[in-house]
Structure 1
């Protein structure tokens, strides 16, 4: 089925309305097979968790921060995930972002439904991610916006008018997190032995790199042991910056055969490597599977900021990282082509 179709294959039911209806058992279309349920696979044996990296000494000349470069390199090779503190994004802004978007999701369903999305662009308010009919769905709703570059920015109709401060705060947050991503791109380039601007240039430069925001809303679930709020997946973009909900956990990262729960550090942002960085690094850095658990006691909100290559620019392994002993593991492909390929696999 064409991933650019204009409508979903089945009527979309917002998970929040299901949760608020007071049901005690969940519909069959949300119940995962036994092998995928969290109660069958969750492991907490690794108490160390993903690394926490202090970026306080990071300046434009990242070569002067070898300890950070080394720590990020180790985290990207071993985990594909790490947390950052002293990252330059104010906690006050982070709190305002979460509360503003929480307020949106607390609006009446008819107000939110005015921004209902379609699989043509996924922009706006939605619940499902894939276009295959009859699949097992995830227990969560979301809102997707494209922020940069200006040529692909979400149209006015995709922006909620309530709360009135939402758009202003979202763009303020975007500017600060984009600065962090550009610094991390330099750190990643140096840690791979590449020129400091290699990855940023491979993504089309600062003015052309893609930036989008997905706000995830995971309502309470009466049977969390049977569902996933977000099924296991890797991110198709380059870098993801996650503002997690510190009140209610749920993010898990695959480590070997185990699923490790991420405990967000106060004031931290969670960073993970996406498929485009794995491709560019010729698999030196790993884009790692992760998933989100549901919760019976409370709702949960998180904000994922995606930093991506220019849509029509082919991305492939850096020539410096291709050797006779380690040949190129990927063929160059534009981000548009890669995204279309991955969307066909979504459920």
Structure 2
């Protein structure tokens, strides 16, 4: 881990660049022409969108219609919007409010939590340690919920005063939701409800709160480069008044139009491996704009980090043998951390 102890260059907060009044962005945020948001055609607004799944009838993964809808979305898209998910709209509002307030604190207060590439935990402005890399237009705060040996409230912001309490409550509600969803995903593979959740017996849960400031040249950069998520499953809460997330579908980028109080759910690389690519971990990226800042809260539900993850044996046949060699999540995460959020590492 020695190579990960320090950032390769001095850290500059993107929010500071945005608030400086500059009309151009620094060169190290300008993406190559092939990666710019205008380089690939996006689907026409309203023409196509990711599936929407109503979770109102999902009780312990047992409602057949809901299980089928979740499985079809994860096989065909790797993404869906979840409505009637059982998490209080009031809690969603409070979670967004406290974290937006954090990012609008004075810089000296936020700098108390500046992170390092050892764990990414804390206040950060870049992912990946490649020197001279083209950076993304965004800041973030990364924190752990589980395992308990990694979680410490002292590493969470002390301001605003209700942030720690609200974030604790939010994390507990999302862990419950993830457990329900993994049962449904297991049944969608034709397995017993507890088969897939067994891989998450000693689950790891963490969250990255992303802050994308206004950008004077949004056509030249991205808030987050195209990538697939390395973990098990991601539950994303976004500002529903401004779009930014795009999902790759075939050769097009599909803009996600967030529904009020909905979660955006996507499959990560570990569930693609466990399902032997029946469920897809799909590339996605984040656009920024000149007129609005944007906040998103990505809750990551991951397997135990030191146990090798490979395709579930019950899913293997002579016609479809294992597509992946087992690898621990720790090993995979280190590989991803060195590379940063660039592209999709798994095939299948």
Aligned residues: 340
Q: Secondary structure at the match of 2:290?
A: coil
How many Å apart are 1:42 and its aligned residue? 3.6
Structure 1's consecutive aligned runs of 4 or more residues displaced over 2 angstroms after TM superposition are 2-5
Tell me which residue corresponds to 1:166.
163
Q: Which moved more, 1:192-201 or 1:28-37?
A: 192-201
CA–CA distance in structure 1, aligned partners of residues 210 and 181 of structure 2: 24
- Provide Cα deviations, 1:83-130, integer angstroms capped at 9, x if missing partner: 111101111100100010000000011110110000001000000001
Tell me which residue corresponds to 2:98.
100
- Provide Cα deviations, 1:198-222, integer angstroms capped at 9, x if missing partner: 111112x1xx101001000000000
Residue 276 of structure 2 is aligned to residue 282 of structure 1: yes
Q: Secondary structure at the match of 1:254?
A: strand
TM-score by length of 2: 0.96
Tell me which residue corresponds to 1:87.
85
Tell me which residue corresponds to 2:40.
41
How many Å apart are 1:156 and its aligned residue? 4.1
Residue 325 of structure 2 is aligned to residue 326 of structure 1: no
Say whether the 8 Å CA contact 1:3–1:119 is kept in structure 2. no
Tell me which residue corresponds to 1:51.
51
1:122 counterpart (120, 123, 137): 120
Tell me which residue corresponds to 2:21.
22
How many Å apart are 1:4 and its aligned residue? 5.4
CA–CA distance in structure 1, aligned partners of residues 334 and 67 of structure 2: 33
Tell me which residue corresponds to 1:298.
292
Q: Secondary structure at the match of 2:53?
A: strand
CA–CA distance in structure 1, aligned partners of residues 4 and 231 of structure 2: 22
1:147 counterpart (145, 148, 152): 145
Distance 1:38 1:311, change over 3 A: same
Q: CA RMSD in A?
A: 1.1
Say whether the 8 Å CA contact 2:48–2:254 is kept in structure 1. no
CA–CA distance in structure 2, aligned partners of residues 190 and 156 of structure 1: 36
Say whether the 8 Å CA contact 1:3–1:343 is kept in structure 2. no
Q: Which moved more, 1:183-192 or 1:2-11?
A: 2-11
Q: Secondary structure at the match of 1:169?
A: helix
Say whether the 8 Å CA contact 2:246–2:256 is kept in structure 1. yes
How many Å apart are 1:229 and its aligned residue? 0.5
How many Å apart are 1:152 and its aligned residue? 2.0
Tell me which residue corresponds to 1:213.
207
CA–CA distance in structure 2, aligned partners of residues 3 and 274 of structure 1: 27
Residue correspondence of structure 1 range 205-284 to structure 2 within 5 A: 205=201, 208-284=202-278
Give the unaligned 5+ runs of structure 1: none
CA–CA distance in structure 2, aligned partners of residues 156 and 69 of structure 1: 36
Q: Secondary structure at the match of 2:339?
A: coil
CA–CA distance in structure 2, aligned partners of residues 209 and 171 of structure 1: 16
Q: Secondary structure at the match of 1:17?
A: helix
CA–CA distance in structure 2, aligned partners of residues 320 and 4 of structure 1: 39
CA–CA distance in structure 1, aligned partners of residues 197 and 187 of structure 2: 12
Distance 1:36 1:212, change over 3 A: same
Q: Secondary structure at the match of 2:196?
A: helix
Q: Secondary structure at the match of 2:149?
A: helix
Tell me which residue corresponds to 1:195.
192
Give the unaligned 5+ runs of structure 2: 342-348
- Provide Cα deviations, 1:55-87, integer angstroms capped at 9, x if missing partner: 111112x33x11111111110011000011110
CA–CA distance in structure 2, aligned partners of residues 324 and 55 of structure 1: 35
CA–CA distance in structure 2, aligned partners of residues 247 and 301 of structure 1: 11
How many Å apart are 1:234 and its aligned residue? 0.4
Residue correspondence of structure 1 range 174-189 to structure 2 within 5 A: 174-189=171-186
Q: Secondary structure at the match of 1:266?
A: coil
How many Å apart are 1:311 and its aligned residue? 1.0
